[in-house]
Every structure is written in C-alpha cells, then in structure tokens.
Amino acid sequence: MRLAEKFTPEVLIEAPRRGPAIPNADGTKALFSTSTHTIGGDTLQEIRILDLSTKGSHVVTANSRAHDFTWLTANSVAFLEPGEKDGVTQLLITKWSDQDTLFEEDSYVAAVFPGPVSSLKLKSLRDGSVALAVVGRADSEGNLFNGEAEPKKSSIRVYDNFNVRFWDSYIRPQKYTIWYARLHSSSNEGGDRWGLDGKLSNLLPNNPEIEAPSSLKDGFFDGSKAFDIAEDGIVFTAQDPSNKDPLYRLTTKVFYTRLPSWSGQYPAAAPREIPCYQDTSRGMYTNSRISPDGKMVAFLKRSVERQQDARLYVAGLVENTGAMVAGSALEVYNMVTGRPWGLIPLSFEFMDNHSLVLTAQDSGYITLHRLKLQPNAIPELIFKNGSVSDYWPLYREGAEKLLVTSSSLVESSLYSIVDAGGKSDAEVVSSASHNGAKLGLSPDQVSEIYFEGAGDYCVQAWVVKPRDFDAKKRYPLCMIVHGGPESCWNNAWSTRWNAAAFAEQGYIAVAPNITGSVGFGLDHTERIYGSWGDYPYKDLEKCLEYLQGLPNLDLDNAVAAGGSYGGYMMLWIQGHELGRKFKALVCHDGVFHLPSFLLECDEPIGPTEDFQGGPYIWNNLSELEKWSPAQADLLKKWKTPMLIVHSDLDFRVPITEGLAAFNTCQALGIESRFVNFPDENHFVLKEENSLQWHRQVFAWLNRFAGIEASTR
C-alpha cells in the first residue's frame, strides 16, 4: 500500500484488510487473507503465505470465490470454492515448497460436495489420514441440501414458530448440521495427492431436531467457532431442541458425538449432552473445544439470568465400554483452580493438554492470558497490545509460542509471536500499517481519560486527536456512543466506527465506555438493566462536564453520533437537555419506539435482561414506555439537526424505526436527512457504500460544527 499523508475515508476504504495469521504444523509459515479495494474499481482478494523467519509473503491464490483456507499438512493448503454446477462446493488442495511459489494452476480438486458447505476443519489422524468436517444444510431425508439445484417456483415462506428471520436473512426450513469424511493420500508421478474416502456423512442423521453448530446463521457467524474435531469424535454447541419459548430462543446446549470411523464406514454414535455439574440453568454455550490428546472438552457458558458473565467449564472424555464419552463439566474457577478471576473470558484455546490460552475484555483492551488447569492457578497475562482478535499455538524449536493477531485504534493489523510463558517480549512479525504510519496516523494521537460517572463509579473514555493537532488551537468535540448496549469501545481497529477517521476530520473524538459497557466489571455492565436511558445518559452528561475542564476542546460546536444502542441514545438525548448541547446528531440504526421494537427485533431480549419485568408490552408496558424515545412529551422537545441512517436489510433494528424518527423530524420542522442503503444490514459493509456512509456522516457533522470539508 502507498503511504497516506492524511487519513481520510478514501484511505480507510482502500487500506488492505487482513484476516488472522494461521500457522502450519511446524511453525515456520502462516496463512492469511487480504482484501484490497480500489474506489470505483474492483476488490483484490488474496490468500498469502507468510514466512515467519524472513517475514516475506507470497500469493497462494487471488480467487475471490475461494474461502475456508486451512493447512492440510506443513506444506500444503486446502480450501473451498463453489464448483461449476449450481450450488456444489469443491475442495481444492495446493502444495508449497521452498523452491517455488504457489500459483492457482498448481491446485487440484480433491473432492466435490453436492451442496454448499463451509467452516472447513481438518485434523491429522494416527494412521496418516486426515479428518475433515464442514457445515451444510440437510434436507428432509438427511442428505446435503442444495437449494440452487432445485429452485422454488414460488417465493412463499411459511412459519409456525418464532424462528422467522435472523440478522439480514429469513430462516430456511432446512437446518444446519455437521458433515464429516476422511481424506487419504496416494502417490503418483506428480507426487502425493489427496482424495476423499467415500462421501460426506451426516453427523446427526437421526436427530433432525438438533441444529448444529448453533452459531452459524446464513454466514453471519463463523460456524467453526462452535465445534471441534478429534481422533474419536466431535464436540459442538446446538440450539436447545427442547425450547419452545421465544424468550429463550438463543439458549443452546453442548454435545459430544463419538465417531467409530471418520470414513463413515460405521455410523456416528448418538449425540450426548454434556451437563454442567451442579448447574442446570438454561444458557448460551460457545467456544466448544477438544484438548490436543482428545481426552478433555471445554466450553464457555453464559446463563440466561447473567448473560454477560461467561463461565469456563471442562469435562473429561472417559472410556466407557471401549468408547470415549463425556462426563459432567466442572466450572474451572470453582472446582479446578479454586481461585476466582476478576475478568470474564471472551474466548479460549487449548495451549496443550494441561493449560488454556484465554482472551478477556479488560478496560478497553482485549488481552491474552495463560491458565494452567491445576489447583491455585490463575490466568497470567502474556500479551496486552491493543486488542487480540485471533491466536494459535506455535510449536517450534521446543519453545511454546503463540502466533497472535491484534489491532489498535491506529494499527489495522499486527502479527506477533508471543511467549506463552510470558517470559520474553513479543516479536513483531508483520504490521500492516507500520503502527499507523502508512495511513497517516500515530499512536501519539490516542489517550484515555477517566471521569466520575452518574454513581459511585468511574467511566473510561478513549480520546483521539487529529494527527496535526496544534496545542494552540481548539477543536470541536465529536462524542461517539457505542452500540450493544452490552459492548464497548476497545483499543481496536474498525472499518465502520473508526475514531481516528472522525478525529482526522478536525475533531477531538471522545468514545466513552458508559454504563452497559463490558470489560469494566460486571457491575458496570449490569447497571444498565432497567436503566437504558438513565445511568448511560447521565454518564454522558458527566463526560461533557469533565471535558469542560480540558484545553483545546470547542464544546460550543460539539456534535455526537452513535449506532444501534448508540443510535437509540441519539434519539433519547434529542428529547432531553443534553440534546441541546450538540450542534448536530447522527443516528445510525437507532431504536425509536421501544415497546414495538422488542417484538420486531430478530433477536429477543431475555426475560431478565435489560428491562425489569420482561420485553412484552402486555406484561411490562409502563417500564418499556419509560425508556422509549417516542414518548409524546419527549418528541415535542426535539430540536437538534439530525442525520438518520437506516438500511433495508437491518432485521436487528428494523428500518421502520429509522423512518419513524426521520418523519418525526420532518413533521416538527427539524433540519434532517435520511440516508438509506437497500443492500446493507445493521452494518454498512460494502466498500463503496461504506465510503458514501462516511461522506454523508462527515459532511453533516462538519457543516454544523463549522469544519471545512477534508480532501484526500
């Protein structure tokens, strides 16, 4: 990429976007994806191999249709791509050597699957073959479903339960399941070539009521995070098949299925639920994993009653009449280590058979920790640099290392080799932006503040200044409110709500982690329950009071913006005194009428979460109306010019919420604008649409803040 003098929306859109770095078996190479868009042109998508010693990389393929890349062996790569026939999927394999460079022509088709599949997982078996697992839909006969092969003559959809749509798609009647097979190699004149033993087998042919893995919803979530494979079986999370209550539609369970044979010669055993010892509560299970030796499973559980409190569980795989089965799972901090931890695990992987590597939200960072599964152990911090997004054990030269992918508010992608014992400093392997320098950014732009909140607690906020900040000048404040509300502003890169992009327009951008934010203790998160428009709103008032004491801030020309819950907050402050403190507002996908929104949303608010008394109008009308921006007395107070952005495919906060807010502004004579993307969902992701989003948002804010338009 070329060096940028100034970080503009155009630079943000055209900057290469890298995926996580995935090491091979001997720890010498890593696989990663990169996507580079040219404004007004095409998007170049590449898969590259990175040499972890020389730190150079070269292209595996620039096939934009390829997906699910993973290592097959230490020097060969497997990936999936759509086949020539409608709906089929091909498994391709390509080999690497030190003497040549990988080219697409070197790839060969190892298998053809008769329908769409994804979430490819591979694992070497003791006999030299390789276990393969993918995720795809099953038809009514238990076969791999291919909707493109038999197009429907009518577009009708019929539903008899609450599972109608999710994120940006309507839910199909064919459920997801896990498919498995075995790959074997054979030698010929061209060297070893891999092929499939037989065909894909359905892991759950006799359990059509179970949909697995639970996290895969039409491509929005990565299904590979919800299941894992080993020599003798598969562990996975699945939607709770016994649930009939819409309030509990997100509850899941974790299962283990024993596999006598990966080739499908013998059928898989019936799935067995793994119970949690002394905990029968409903919950959401995630991150199911199997230890390297195949003798232990682990997962995270969030109870319905405390959805932000993830608990870590482990269960042994014990031999029973010659077969490996899972016993009850033990809560790690209570029953294994015996010591509580102040942080909440976000994700984990097995480092070895006796320890885990975990990430956690920690005061605006996502940090990496090592936990030994033994009495009195506590997670030890091994990496804190921005926010960790991915990590893989890296075994080489007998040393325990990790290949870590992270980012920051100015660094778009960083690959580091980290000592799993925390005894040595991290080694930087590759920085996409040279710590922001290639993008016209610098770490010196970023700082953080703490101020007193609405109660007996402090609130943290990130502060980002322009790169050319002059201490003799004053800059308008741009307050950015995050969504969730159980989310946070991390020291992490984003192509959507990028604080540096706002700052480079000429603002001092402030991103506060108000009540409801995660990573600052459960009390700070759960304080928002029954208080959507109370503590968070008052925290923003307190933030503005604190900022009055800081130099260089022009509060007379302050503006504010927020998305999702942050959009709700823009509508909420419109009807309150705080709304008059800002010259302009931007509401992206905000909630206007809370009671009806809770019935329209694709994802339910749980029975005890967020609103005391539940989310139903007929049971809790007064509480829901209390926190709704659409109260008549509040609407009459709206005055601040507002830009409203809402997209047609947003099923999380349906577009009618944005239209109602815009029509209210128009009816009240408030200067306002409505921006719509017919092909976007809750997020604006397409590059050219994202560019227009930034141009519209910045033009609106700059106009009222008195900032001249920035140029490329």
Do residues 156 and 173 make contact, with C-beta atoms less than 8 angstroms apart?
no
Q: Cα-flanking dihedrals φ and ψ of residue 358, to 5°? A: -125, 150
Give the amino acid at 29.
K
SS3 413: coil
Q: Give the integer Cα–Cα distance in Å for 335 and 671.
A: 60
Q: Is 667 exposed, middle or buried (0-12, 13-18, 19+ CB in 10 A)?
A: exposed
Element (H, E) at 192: strand 191-202
Q: Give the integer Cα–Cα distance in Å for 117 and 157.
A: 23
SS3 551: coil
The two structure tokens encoding residue 375: 């009495």
Catalytic residue among 650, 690, 694, 710: 650
Angle 702-705-710 from CA coordinates, rounded to 5°: 30
Residues sharing a CB contact under 8 Å with residue 361, sequence separation 6 or more, in sequence order: 343, 344, 346, 488, 490, 518, 519
Residues sharing a CB contact under 8 Å with residue 571, sequence separation 6 or more, in sequence order: 587, 590, 591, 592, 629, 661
- Per the annotation, the verdict on 556 as an active-site residue is no
Number of Cβ atoms within 10 Å of the Cβ of 440:
19
Closest to 680 in 3D by CA, of 652, 708, 711, 709 = 652
Q: Give the integer Cα–Cα distance in Å for 411 and 160.
A: 48
Q: Give the integer Cα–Cα distance in Å for 527 and 361.
A: 17
Q: Give me the residues paired with residue 508 across strands.
A: 477
Residues sharing a CB contact under 8 Å with residue 133, sequence separation 6 or more, in sequence order: 119, 120, 121, 178, 179, 180, 227, 229, 234
Q: Is 457 exposed, middle or buried (0-12, 13-18, 19+ CB in 10 A)?
A: middle
Helices (H) and strands (E) counted in the chain, each on its own, are 11, 40
Angle 290-291-297 from CA coordinates, rounded to 5°: 45
SS3 182: strand
Closest to 486 in 3D by CA, of 461, 454, 519 = 519
Q: What residue spans of 213-276 are helical by DSSP H?
A: none
Taking the chain, what is the end-to-end CA distance rounded to the nearest angstrom? 15
Q: Give the integer Cα–Cα distance in Å for 72 and 516.
A: 43
Q: Give the integer Cα–Cα distance in Å for 507 and 474.
A: 9
Q: What is the 8-class DSSP label of residue 144?
A: B
The two structure tokens encoding residue 368: 């990496």
- Per the annotation, the verdict on 564 as an active-site residue is yes
Q: What is the 8-class DSSP label of residue 662?
A: H
Q: Decide the pairing of beta strands 475-481 and 296-303.
A: unpaired
Q: Can you tell me which residue has the tokens 């928002």?
A: 528
Catalytic residue among 564, 628, 647, 672: 564
- Please confirm whether the linkage preceding 213 is cis (ω < 30° from 0): yes
Q: Give the integer Cα–Cα distance in Å for 571 and 568.
A: 5
Catalytic residue among 67, 524, 682, 694: 682
Q: Decide the pairing of beta strands 283-290 and 296-303.
A: antiparallel
Q: Cα-flanking dihedrals φ and ψ of residue 245, to 5°? A: -100, 125
- Per the annotation, the verdict on 682 as an active-site residue is yes
SS3 228: strand
Catalytic residue list:
564, 650, 682
